[in-house]
Amino acid sequence: MGRFTSSSDIAQQTFDSFGCRQFFHSSIDRRPTGASTRIQVLPRLIFTIALIFTSYVKLRVESTSRDQTPEGWAHFFLTDPLTLYSRSAHLIGEGPSQDLRTGQSLLEGMLQTNPASAERWFHLGGVFLESGQLEKGKYCYTRAAELAPNTAETWLNLANYYIGQNQPRAALPFLGRILRSVNWSEIVFDDFDRLNLSIRAIAEGGGLPEAEPSIAEAYFRHLLEAGDVVPLRDAWQWMKTRSPSDQLTQNYVDFLVAKGLVSEAAAAWSSQLGKREPEFGTSTFIINGDFERAPEGTLFDWRIAPDPHVQVSRDNSVFLSGQSALRLEFDGKINSAYQGVSQRVFLPRGAYRFESFVRTAGITTDEGVGFRVLDARSSHQLLIETERLRGTTDWKKLGGKLIVDSPVRLIEIQVFRRPSWRFDGSIAGTVWIDQVSLKRE
């Protein structure tokens, strides 16, 4: 920030700018002696003082009336670079007060005091571009880049220069450098939007660093937020060849389902699943139905919703097959409507049978625990509801049938319990679940 300029400083600067210092000193140096000579010098002094006063008043009036700056700032803009740039921006703006020449002159004056300032070269370049002087603007930007070649600010200014000149591919390497060096992703992603290029073209042009896939995923999420299906389709074709995360795939699948594009969502889901579940689609359409690994809560596994009154875990001591089962413990404190364990699956057209084995110990109240299968796009459309077990039981098979009469359907399988109508309806006890399957009939 520049120092505060006092009224006497302004007067002295104005005095110098009008060449009055030389005139005043020459008058004094050549002063004759005697009363007559003092009379000759006096008019000159009066004229000089009047000139200084007039210039001072002019600066005061212009700085307060045109800038409309608060009390105490009337002189500050004369030395502060940010205020000078603000004033120049105002002068080159649209409207009746537009004054391009004066705006440029202010910034040019700033450069004269500090020609090594890359920031000031960029500011002046912006003024030239705004006023249509493209070559001068380009020169200023190039000069600034020479002075500060390895800063994010330089890269961003150069990128925006090329974007403004409708040279999007020239901007990409600079935007890519920014993404590799600082956390300005949203600024860069907004610039990508302005380029109107595909994600493939952006990556091939150096805008998305190949060595950092998380940046590409972040940009894909940016596109998801924008919600335009067409560029997202194209972006997904590029993304899926680069092993996107399950979480990103889930975000895209959920987006497509919300748009009613269930077949596209199923295709994205299947391509991500790949060969990680060799039995899926043949012996079963359920993933991790034996709970031999801890549910990950991702697109291709059971989702466990947190519940302070139900503890869900894998049990390695009680199971029907393999080495573990899923265990749910109800603490008996509330009369809950529970549906906290679920899995979503895309099913192609056909007939299916759902099965699961359930064991209970001390499940209280008249409303027990079982399974239901819903259309995931319409939670009110019940496809299967099994028996709900109470008390203490050994392993028991629960199940039902469903038919998919559309090309593909997204279903949701839930462990559920309805709230009891009784005054003592708080549920307590333990439930074990194993061998969950969904097979073609």
For residue range 75-119, list pLDDT tens digits in order.
333 445 556 555 655 665 555 555 656 656 665 665 665 666 777
Band of residue 401 on the pLDDT scale cut at 50, 70, 90: very high
- 328 vs 194: which has the higher pLDDT: 328
Half-sphere exposure of 133 (CA within 13 A, CB side): 15
State the burial class of residue 306 (Cβ atoms within 10 Å of its Cβ: 0-12, 13-18, 19+).
exposed
105 phi and psi angles, rounded to 5 deg:
-60, -40
- Going by the DSSP 8-state scheme, the letter that residue 389 receives in this structure is B
- Going by the DSSP 8-state scheme, the letter that residue 75 receives in this structure is T
Q: What is the rounded average pLDDT of the residues 420-436? A: 95
Q: What is the pLDDT of residues 227-253, one digit of tens each?
A: 999 999 999 999 998 889 999 999 999
Residue 122's CB is within 10 A of a number of other CB atoms, namely 26
Q: What is the rounded average pLDDT of the residues 334-345? A: 94
Q: What is the rounded average pLDDT of the residues 399-407? A: 95
| Bridge partner residues of 51 (DSSP) | none
Question: What's CA 25's distance to the chain center, in Å?
Answer: 64
User: What pLDDT is stored for residue 276 in this prediction?
Assistant: 83
Helix, strand or coil, per DSSP, at residue 348: strand
In which residue are the tokens 């040019």 written? 108
Q: What is the rounded average pLDDT of the residues 53-81? A: 43
User: What pLDDT is stored for residue 160 in this prediction?
Assistant: 82
323 phi and psi angles, rounded to 5 deg:
-130, 5
Q: What is the rounded average pLDDT of the residues 358-387? A: 94
Which range in 11-15, 93-97, 144-148, 332-336 is most confidently predicted, on average pLDDT?
332-336
User: What pLDDT is stored for residue 66 in this prediction?
Assistant: 42
422 phi and psi angles, rounded to 5 deg:
-80, 155
User: What pLDDT is stored for residue 141 in this prediction?
Assistant: 78
Q: What is the pLDDT of residues 170-218, one digit of tens each?
A: 999 999 999 988 888 999 999 999 888 999 999 999 999 887 889 999 9
